[in-house]
Structure 1
Amino acid sequence: MRDIQNYFDRHLYIGRIGTAFIYAVMVSVALNYFWTPGHIYSSGITGLAQLFDSLSQGLFGFNIPVYIFLFVFNVPLIIAAWRSIGHRFAIFTTIAVLLASIMIRVIDKPVTLTHDPLIDAIFGGLVNGFATGLALRNGISTGGLDILGILIRKRTGMRMGIVNMTFNAFIMLAAGLVFGWQFAFYSAIGVFVNAKVIDTVYTRQQKMQIMIITDRPKTVVDSIQNHLRRGITIIHGAEGAYKHDNKDVLFTVISQYEQYEVTEALAESDVHAFMSMWRVDKIQGNFYEPKL
């Protein structure tokens, strides 16, 4: 049994490292092919690194490249992740940040695909947002605001995209004051697109309430709890208005990415059951979240 667990853990680690590499390549493309040629500032720590890269000549008398700032700024956040989120999460975050810094250096020849800063802002946000959401969905962080966002979300329930946009208001303000409001406004558009794509791809933080009407409650509950770890409330004595037969109503709350497991569990236990799902903006109480 231990050998089987080690086998799955090994493949999980390989998958996460592969995801970290994909993220690194995509963020390098976003930075070097869109943001840098368009004079667009990214979100989060990457945007902060860009800002310090632009100011480093005046501050230090010599230029310090983006990838150096990107890694240095992430070090204290990785330490916080190690202490508060999980050791494996922190290790894979370090791998993702290190690979991103390396790939930004390797792909260090900006290619001007377009001279339109609006297109650069939108497509840079799309590429980076998808990469960030993909990394988070596979249990790793890209560093920076991803770590800060997860810590805040665990305490307040606030969405990752909202945390991202709140912090980035500072980046946009600084960019506007230093380099001109035109590029700050374009950068704000890119940040908005980036945040929306993250929320679309990374669905762990999005909660859904499930209502199931069935005449086989025990079978359905057992099947759902075999697929995922969720508490379920049962309301007995419901009555169908059409045939006036006895039914039971089940309620539970899941993460959006778990809806496929619930659908599969219901198909196995009661193909005639009725199920509805709807988004939940906020929950309070004990809600289990798998350790990252």
Structure 2
Amino acid sequence: MLTKKNQNTSTCLKNPKNGNTISLKLRIRNFIFISFAAVIMALNIKIFVRNANTFPGGATGLTLLIQQIFWRFFNIKVSYTIINLLINAIPVYIGFRYIGKHFTILSVYMIIVTSVLTDLLPAIKITDDILLLVVFGGIINGVAISICLLSGATSGGTDFISIFISERKGIDSFNIILGFNTVILTIAGFLFGWDKAMYSIVFQFISTQVLHLLYRKYQETTLFIVTNKPREVVETIATISGHSSTILEGEGSYEHCERNVVYSVISSQESSHVVKAVKTTDPKAFVNVMRTQQVQGRFYRPKEY
């Protein structure tokens, strides 16, 4: 155990990470993963979403809702691609204006490929059990969106808005978008039956939970590291995450010898990489990782490129 003795001034380091410098290898890798995510999402729509007659929320849910309205009430079959691109026009503008051009270009690619494949792929039926379709459809949807986000893009629609809010407010806003999607599902309930709307809420909830599990950029983690190499540990944290740290001087309660504690708050998405690097820097370091509920003050968050 350590008791706080006194606190040094926060170690000031320039951020060594350059979010605008991306290697060609990384760009190619991201392009491949985004293409894979687009195929998964299109297949998910054709196999799970449409067979369950659910509306997953966001731009996808709104597109499917408009398609259903045109078909049910006007007997007109409207292209998924056309509707989805029109709906994404404003979110794409928000992406270009406030999030990042390269990020938005990759997202537009994701939107176009997903839309075209959704129109071209044949419908595939694997089960009549709506609950199974909803549960597995929600899981697959969350996985596809997570792959997309981790590869430097988004599936479009409300994802742009949620990222914009998260960048501005520094919070995880995907639950806010879940509330927004409830409006779409309410309209679907009035028009096509409340059972479809309730199944859609389950779908969206499962998808959001999977997204929280796999994509943790807007969740923070606090590190307390007891080490005999505080400067090296601070450098390691800054190199990997871009975050500075505070070095605390303490005293071991058993041996009554001086100990150094490095305190830092980083993104949960980076925590496993940082901890591994810290243990490499100082194999004898004692690392305490804690979930952070809220951070007030200057907290560096790398921008989307």
TM-score norm. by structure 1 comes to 0.92
**Aligned mate of 2:181, from 147, 162, 168:** 168
The amino acid across from 1:164 in the alignment is I
- Is this contact kept in 1: 2:171–2:219, CA < 8 A? no
Q: What is the CA distance between 1:235 and its match in structure 2?
A: 1.3
Deviation track 1:118-145 (CA, whole Å, cap 9, x = no partner) reads 1111111111110001111121111111
- Compute the displacement of 1:61 (Å): 6.3
Residue deviations 1:31-55 (CA, integer Å, cap 9, x gap): 1101111111112110000000011
Matched, 1:271 2:283: yes
Gaps of 5+ in 2: 1-19
- 1:32–1:104 Cα contact (<8 Å) kept: yes
**Which residue in the other structure is 1:262 paired with?**
274
**1:111-126 equivalence runs, <5 A:** 111-126=124-139
* 1:199 maps to 2:212: yes
Q: Does 1:26 align with 2:44?
A: no
* Counterpart for residue 3 of structure 1: none
Partner of 2:7: none
Give the structure 1 partner of residue 61 of structure 2: 47
Q: CA deviation at 1:97?
A: 0.4
Greater than 3 Å deviation, 4+ residue runs: 57-61
Amino acid at match of 1:82: F
The structure with higher relative contact order (CA 8 Å, sep 6+) is 2
Matched, 1:96 2:110: yes
User: Closer, same or farther in 2 for the Cα pair 1:115/1:104, shift >3 Å?
Assistant: same
Do the aligned partners of 2:49 and 2:133 also contact (CA within 8 Å) in 1? yes
Question: Which ranges in structure 1 are unaligned for 5 or more consecutive residues?
Answer: 1-5
Partner SS, residue 12 of structure 1: helix
> Identity of aligned pairs, percent?
29
SS of 2:23's partner is helix
The alpha carbon displacement at 1:269 in A equals: 2.3
Q: Does 1:157 align with 2:170?
A: yes
What is the TM-score with the length of structure 2 in the denominator? 0.88
**1:126-275 matched pairs, under 5 angstroms:** 126-236=139-249, 238-275=250-287
The question of whether the paired residues in 2 share the 8 Å contact of 1:132 and 1:142 is answered with yes
**8 Å CA contact 2:59, 2:87 repeated in 1:** yes
- Asked if 2 retains the 8 angstrom alpha-carbon contact of 1:220 and 1:266, the reply is yes
- The offset of 1:160, in angstroms, is 4.0
Partner deviation per Cα, 1:238-280 (whole Å, 9 max, x = no partner): 1111211101111111111211332233123221111111111
1:168-209 Cα offsets, whole Å, 9 max, x none, are 111210111000011111111101001111111111111100
Distance (whole Å) between structure 2 residues aligned to residue 132 and residue 143 of structure 1: 9
SS at 1:129 equivalent: helix
Q: Distance in 2 between matches of 1:158 and 1:66?
A: 32
Corresponding residue SS for 1:275: strand
Structure 2 residue 54 is the aligned partner of structure 1 residue 37: no
Post-superposition Cα deviations, 1:60-89, rounded to whole Å, max 9, x if no partner, equal 662213232112111221111000001111
Instruction: Give the RMSD, CA atoms, in angstroms.
Output: 1.8
Q: Tell me which residue corresponds to 1:10.
A: 24
SS at structure 1 position matched to 2:290 = strand
